[in-house]
Every structure is written in C-alpha cells, then in structure tokens.
Amino acid sequence: MHSHDDSLNRLASVLRDDLDETNRTIVARMASDVQLIPQLAAHLVAAGGKRLRPLLTLAAARLCGYRGERHIRLAACVEFIHTATLLHDDVVDDSELRRGLASANAVFGNKASVLVGDFLFARAFELMVEDGSLEVLRILCNASATIAEGEVLQLSTQNDLGTDIPRYFKVIEGKTAALFAAACEVGGVVAGCDRDICAALSAYGAALGMAFQLVDDALDYAADQNELGKTVGDDFREGKLTYPVLVAHAGGDDAERAFWRRTIETGEQTETDLATALDLIARHDAIGQTLREAGAFAHKAKAALAALPDDPLRALMMEAADYAVSRHR
Amino acid sequence: MHSHDDSLNRLASVLRDDLDETNRTIVARMASDVQLIPQLAAHLVAAGGKRLRPLLTLAAARLCGYRGERHIRLAACVEFIHTATLLHDDVVDDSELRRGLASANAVFGNKASVLVGDFLFARAFELMVEDGSLEVLRILCNASATIAEGEVLQLSTQNDLGTDIPRYFKVIEGKTAALFAAACEVGGVVAGCDRDICAALSAYGAALGMAFQLVDDALDYAADQNELGKTVGDDFREGKLTYPVLVAHAGGDDAERAFWRRTIETGEQTETDLATALDLIARHDAIGQTLREAGAFAHKAKAALAALPDDPLRALMMEAADYAVSRHR
C-alpha cells in the first residue's frame, strides 16, 4: 500500500465522523457465528487501510448535500466488495499444486480466501437490500460483474505481450475503475441527485481509478522504497503485464523484446533482470509516459466534477485527482 | 452427478417449456466479451446437469398458479448462484503449492474458477435487479451469505472428528439446504403468495436439500457404481467428514477411532483403508442411519407442502422428496 497522505488525509479529516461510523458498520457487519469469517475478514478489513473507496462514497454524498445516514451503510458495502476482490485476487493458481492429499493444517489458504470473499460479497448485497434502492443495487451489481470481467480479461492477457493499450485499459477499467466509479455514483444516488450529476460523479470516479492504477503501475518500477513503503519490482517478479512494460516493449528493438518475452511471457528471470528491466523502462521513458497518461485521466476526473457545486469538498476531491498522480514524487 | 430419474424427470417433463426457456436464458446471460467467461461457464452451466434447483423455482411458481415469465429469469439466477458455488468449491488450497513462478500456460486453474464464479454471482444479482423485487433479492442474498458461511464452517471443521451432528447439520444447511429453500421460496414470491405459503415452500426446499445431501453422503459409501455413475470412496479419499463417518466414529472402539483419525484427520491412507472404512460403516449401520435421517427430512419436506394446493405438481414435488431418499436402491 502506498501512503496517500496530503489531500486524501484531508478528505478523511473532513469526513472523520462519517468514516468512523463506516468503520463501526464494517466491523459490526463482518460478524458471523462461523469464527473463521471475522478472523480472516478482520485481517484485511478491520486492520485499516486507507478506505479510499468508501471515502469516495461519503464525499460524493456530502458534496451533493446529503444529510442522512444511508451513505454509511453503502460506504461499508463498497469496502466489502473491495475486500472480497482483494481476497479473490490473492488466490494462487492450482497449476502450481503438488499432487497429494491436503494436509490437516491447510485450513487458511486459497479456499478460505475464496469463501470468506464470497461471504463479504453476499453481505455487501444484503446491506444494499436493507438500504432498499434498486438503483444502488443496479450500479453495484453492474460494477461487480465488470470487476469480474476485468479480472478474467487480465488472466487471459497475463504474460501476453501482444496485449495492446486499449485491451490493457479495458482490464484496469474493470479491475480498478469500475468500483471507483460506482462508489462515487451511489453517493449521488443516495442524495437524490439527477442523472447528469450521478453520471458526472461516475465519470470522476472512473477517471480517478484509471489514474490511480496507472500510477500504481509506474510506482512498481519507480518508487522510492523508503518513502512509499513499496518494493520496486514486485510486478516484474510476478511477470505482470503493466503499462510501463507495454510501453518499453512497444519501443524496444529485437533484443529488448526478446528480454521481455523471456522475463514476462515465460517468466524465466535471473538476479540481474530487474536491473535490466529498470534500465529499459528508463531508456524508453516508460514511467514518464505512464504518468502523463495518468495525468490525462486526472484532468478528466477534475473536469467531470465541474458539473458539481463549487464547494470545499469538491476542491478536495479535485486535489485527490492531482495527488493520485503527484504521489510518486 | 447421480441420475435423478423418476419423479424428477417427470417434474422436468411437466415443466419442459419453462425449463427450455430457462436454459436459453442461462446461455444468453453467460455472454461476455471476455471469451474465457462463456468458455468456462459453458463447461459447467451449458453442458446440462439436472437443473434441480431452477426446476424447484419453476415448480413452486407454477404450483402457486403463476402465469407470467419472471420465474424463468429467477430460475436462471438460482442456477448461476449454484454454478458459482460449484466453481468456488473446486478451488484447491494453496498450502499445497510449490514455491516458484507461475508457468505461462497456467491460465485455466484456481484463479479462473474463482473469477468466473464471481462473474456468475454478479450476473445472478443483475438478473434479480432486472426483475426488480427487493423480496427476491433479500431471499437470495441471505441464501448466498448462508451458503458462504456453511462452506467456511465446513472448511473449519474438515478433518475434525470432534464435529458433532448439530454442527454438521449447520454445515449442510448452509452449503446445500439454503439454496434449495431459497429456490422454492422465490417461486412463491414471484407468484404473489402470502408469507405462510412462501415459508412453507422454503421449509419444503430446506428439508429436501438436507435429504439430498445426506443421501449423497451415504451414496459415497454405498453406491452401485454402474447404476449411479458415482465412484465409491471419493469423499473418503478426500478426507471429507460426512454423516456416515460421524456415525461410525461415534460408535467405534478405540482402534476404530484411531483408524478414522489417521485416515480422515491426518489424511494418511493406504490402499486397503477404503475396504476397512466400508467395513466399519457397515458394522455400525452408518448407511442405514444416514438414510433414516434423510427419510425424516423427506417426511418434513412433504409435510410442509400440505399448506399448498392439492395439485399434480404438488404430488410430483412430494414424490421428489421420496425419490431423494429412495434413489440409493
């Protein structure tokens, strides 16, 4: 996780009471007689995290003048969906499995992640049903289907350097931008805003999500480890196809392409490969290009908010878009 | 899969048009631009199967005099939820994973099962939102959460011979009976039935689900392989804790308990162990006891239907409960 201080922390301070209430709801609604559920969920959900997505729901609702309590439950529900996708993202492929019987202590692995994720998904939908808005349900169901589609597409294209930029964008639209967009939109819906305003909030969230994901991609090849607490090269070592790699590969000569094919497509890596990868990324200005792309999305995000009332909250949401891009420095 | 001929086939014949329409809806709504989704889903969903759960939705709706089309979509949605849980059930635990990088061709494993399952869950909820009944959403969201809880409880108790019968019933209430109950109940809801009738349908489905699961447990130690297409001993080899094992363990002497601890709790098995297990199961009449328990649930299922109108469909649903138990012969 990166540190999203600055504008995000200020947004969190302004919405402190709402956020505290959301955290209480999250803890209360993870409860289950089946102890493994709160145990495992607490590991991810209750442990904290930046609560970026629920923060967007809370901010959008308040920016639209909402004075009630419904946005709390929906913010919790957005966080549950996010946590469920994190749990499912961690599942490891069984092609790497050894043959043989499962050992008795193998209780907290893939299977627990999948099933507790399913529980959180179902709990999220229960929260929405309690809320009772079919429009909110529609938005978050569609987002959930889009997330799953994006993740499956990522699986289909992973290690495939033939993936082009539009296809890569489709992956991150699904796996990241869809929930950002939905989190913002339901804030508008709960406040009773008209279609245009809700669409503007959705557009803001979608563009913000794209910017965040692109910067995440860039940070993996550029982060100052001490400052951001992120290890350089995680994506590379996992053979993940991200934007900087696509840029460097597209601009590379035959030898460079052979390097990417070996390290990303076939996953064969030696100790010196990360240094070579960083060198190639730098040579093709792939970080710069990724951040410029992220900047364009941040600009789109801010432009979308022009439809919303001029308000200190709106200013903070706009700053959050800038911060998404500038946090690499 | 067992062959559920007889009364289930007759139920399917009576509802043939509805069932065909449900199958068309299922195929149409699995569609996605992301090709892996219909590919993998088709493997499970489109390939057929007995469609037992959607059949219950269709039967319940028609028994309640429903004449519209909504039950088709909801039957498809019940099948999507079932298929998603099957996909997630197949995920193997990562404690058995080898260290090392994933190979490039490892695309259709755990991860694909999880993500396509998530897509089907989300698609199921989209279908419900299109239907627009918050009551239907409530019932199937609750069922989904209960299924996940049951599966997690099963994971927590697996290999644990200290599991008692009430705890085991809680597992199968979740993993099997909850969706049977919900599938029946939404049929009543869509037909506009009052609370009592819907509760009776739910009680029928829940008891039927318990009976089915118990007979499944029994068949794994008793099936005539040629007749039922089920291999004896699958549950045993996987170290699954099922009702017949609990019965044999509870009635066993010290040596027998040591046998079950070794084979089920620690998963250490030799080639002759299955024969020993079958012998112990027979010695303690564990199959007989399991089937008597299943019979009691079938009786409960039929009794619940007394609240519904006397109708040929009701008679077939009652017979289905008897068939659930008699299919072992």
With 0-12 / 13-18 / 19 or more C-beta atoms within 10 angstroms meaning exposed / middle / buried, residue A2 is middle
CB spacing of B115 vs A142 below 8 angstroms:
no
Partner residue facing A34 (CB), from B91, B122, B153: B153
CB spacing of A141 vs B126 below 8 angstroms:
yes
Say what percent of chain A tops pLDDT 90.
69
Predicted pLDDT at B237: 87
CB spacing of A152 vs B116 below 8 angstroms:
yes
Specify which residues B97 forms β-bridges with. A97
Predicted pLDDT at A105: 29
Retrieve residue A141's tokens.
């169901």
DSSP 8-state symbol, A307: G
CB spacing of A156 vs B107 below 8 angstroms:
yes
pLDDT in tens, B297-325: 999 999 999 999 999 999 999 999 999 89
CA separation, residue A28 to residues A22, A42, A117, B143 (Å): 10, 11, 17, 20
Amino acid identity at B174: G
CA B303/CA B203 separation, integer angstroms? 9
Query: Which residue from A30, A81, A27, A87 is spatially nearest to A54, judged by alpha carbons?
Result: A81
Rounded-to-10 torsion of CA A306, A307, A311, A313:
-80
Specify which residues A97 forms β-bridges with. B97
DSSP 8-state symbol, B173: I
Predicted pLDDT at B234: 84
Query: Which residue from B134, B154, B126 is spatially nearest to B217, judged by alpha carbons?
Result: B154
> Does residue A235 register a pLDDT over 50?
yes
Predicted pLDDT at B243: 96
User: What's the pLDDT band for B35 if we cut at 50, 70, 90?
Assistant: confident
CB spacing of A96 vs B95 below 8 angstroms:
no
* CA atoms B292, B295, B299, B304: torsion sign: positive
Mean pLDDT, chain A, whole residue set = 88
* Mean pLDDT computed over A178-185: 98
* Mean pLDDT computed over B83-106: 58
Query: Which residue from A324, A32, A80 is spatially nearest to A183, judged by alpha carbons?
Result: A80
User: What's the pLDDT band for B90 if we cut at 50, 70, 90?
Assistant: confident
Q: How many CB atoms lie within 10 A of CB B267?
A: 17
> Does residue B101 register a pLDDT over 70?
no
Retrieve residue B138's tokens.
């409530």
> Does residue A234 register a pLDDT over 90?
no
Predicted pLDDT at B39: 81
Retrieve residue B245's tokens.
């094992």
Contacts of A158 in chain B (CB under 8 A): 107
- Is A2-326 a CATH 1.10.600.10 domain? yes
> Does residue B32 register a pLDDT over 80?
yes
CA B270/CA B256 separation, integer angstroms? 15
CA B268/CA A102 separation, integer angstroms? 10
* Mean pLDDT computed over A218-242: 76
CB spacing of B148 vs A118 below 8 angstroms:
yes
Contacts 24+ apart (CB under 8 A), B267-270: B267/A101, B267/A102, B267/A103, B267/A104, B267/B159, B267/B239, B268/A101, B269/A101, B269/B236, B269/B237, B269/B239
Closest chain B residue to A110, measured at CA: B93
Contacts of A122 in chain B (CB under 8 A): 141, 144-145, 147-148
Mean pLDDT, chain B, whole residue set = 88
A168 min Cα distance to partner chain B (Å): 13
DSSP 8-state symbol, B308: S
Q: How many CB atoms lie within 10 A of CB B80?
A: 27
Predicted pLDDT at B155: 85
Closest chain A residue to B150, measured at CA: A34
CB spacing of B101 vs A269 below 8 angstroms:
yes
Partner residue facing A159 (CB), from B33, B104, B115: B104
A169: contact with B, CB 8 A cutoff: no
pLDDT in tens, B269-280: 999 999 999 999
CB spacing of A94 vs B116 below 8 angstroms:
no
- H/E element, A1: none
Predicted pLDDT at A29: 92
CA separation, residue A303 to residues A38, A294, A295, A300, B25 (Å): 41, 14, 12, 5, 41
Amino acid identity at B80: F
Query: Which residue from A194, A245, A254, A239 is spatially nearest to A221, judged by alpha carbons?
Result: A245
SS3 percent helix, strand, coil of chain B, rounded to 5, is 75, 0, 25
Predicted pLDDT at A141: 96
Q: Where are the beta strands (DSSP E) in chain B?
A: none
- Angle A178-190/A52-63 helices, nearest 10 degrees? 30
Predicted pLDDT at A106: 37
Contacts of A149 in chain B (CB under 8 A): 32-34, 37, 119
Non-local (6+) Cβ contacts of B166 within 8 A are: none
CB spacing of B106 vs A126 below 8 angstroms:
no
Query: Which residue from A28, A2, A320, A23 is spatially nearest to A180, judged by alpha carbons?
Result: A320
Closest chain A residue to B167, measured at CA: A34
Contacts 24+ apart (CB under 8 A), A193-199: A193/A64, A196/A307, A197/A64, A197/A307, A197/A308
Q: Are A203 and A240 in contact (CB under 8 A)?
A: no
> Does residue B104 register a pLDDT over 50?
no
Q: Are B25 and B72 in contact (CB under 8 A)?
A: yes
| Residue ranges per structural domain of chain B | 2-326
Amino acid identity at A46: A
CB spacing of A95 vs B116 below 8 angstroms:
no
A161 min Cα distance to partner chain B (Å): 12
Predicted pLDDT at B138: 97
For chain B, the distance separating the N- and C-terminal CA atoms, rounded to the nearest angstrom, is 16
pLDDT in tens, A161-181: 888 899 999 999 999 999 999
CA separation, residue A274 to residues A235, A264, A268 (Å): 10, 11, 12
Closest chain B residue to A37, measured at CA: B152
Q: Are B281 and B251 in contact (CB under 8 A)?
A: no
SS3 B220: coil
Predicted pLDDT at B87: 87
User: What's the pLDDT band for B93 if we cut at 50, 70, 90?
Assistant: low
User: What's the pLDDT band for B45 if we cut at 50, 70, 90?
Assistant: low
User: What's the pLDDT band for B1 if we cut at 50, 70, 90?
Assistant: very low
CA B106/CA B94 separation, integer angstroms? 14
Residue B325 vs residue A187, higher pLDDT: A187
ipTM field: 0.90
CA A283/CA A30 separation, integer angstroms? 48
Rg of chain B over all Cα atoms, to the nearest angstrom = 20
Query: Which residue from A182, A168, A234, A217 is spatially nearest to A325, judged by alpha carbons?
Result: A217
Instruction: Provide φ and ψ at B316, rounded to 5°.
Output: -65, -35
Amino acid identity at B138: R
pLDDT in tens, B146-159: 999 999 998 888 77
User: What's the pLDDT band for B103 if we cut at 50, 70, 90?
Assistant: very low
Predicted pLDDT at B117: 93
Residue B126 vs residue B97, higher pLDDT: B126
Question: Left if phi > 0, otherwise alpha if psi is -120 to 50, otherwise beta: which for A100?
Answer: left
Instruction: Provide φ and ψ at B97, rounded to 5°.
Output: -80, 145
Say what percent of chain B tops pLDDT 70.
88
Non-local (6+) Cβ contacts of A181 within 8 A are: A143, A202, A203, A205, A206, A209
Amino acid identity at A244: P
B199: contact with A, CB 8 A cutoff: no
SS3 A132: coil
Residue A150 vs residue A227, higher pLDDT: A150
pLDDT in tens, B189-246: 999 999 999 999 999 999 999 999 999 999 999 855 445 455 688 889 888 899 999 9
Interfacial A residues in 241-270 facing B (CB < 8 Å):
265-267, 269
CB spacing of B121 vs A119 below 8 angstroms:
no
> Does residue A112 register a pLDDT over 90?
no
Predicted pLDDT at A327: 78
Retrieve residue B81's tokens.
């939820």
- Best of A30, A32, A34, A186 to mutate (most B CBs within 10 Å, chain B): A34
A115: contact with B, CB 8 A cutoff: yes
Rg of chain A over all Cα atoms, to the nearest angstrom = 20
Q: Are B60 and B187 in contact (CB under 8 A)?
A: yes
Partner residue facing B94 (CB), from A110, A137, A141: A110
> Does residue B161 register a pLDDT over 50?
yes
B33 min Cα distance to partner chain A (Å): 8
A95: contact with B, CB 8 A cutoff: yes
CA A309/CA A197 separation, integer angstroms? 10
Predicted pLDDT at A160: 86
Contacts of A237 in chain B (CB under 8 A): 101
> Does residue A237 register a pLDDT over 90?
no
Q: How many CB atoms lie within 10 A of CB A194?
A: 8
Predicted pLDDT at B82: 94
pLDDT in tens, A28-57: 998 888 888 888 777 766 566 779 999 999
B31: contact with A, CB 8 A cutoff: no
Query: Which residue from B92, B91, B109, B113 is spatially nearest to B44, judged by alpha carbons?
Result: B113
SS3 B33: coil
A31: contact with B, CB 8 A cutoff: no
A166: contact with B, CB 8 A cutoff: no
Retrieve residue A203's tokens.
């557009």
A159: contact with B, CB 8 A cutoff: yes
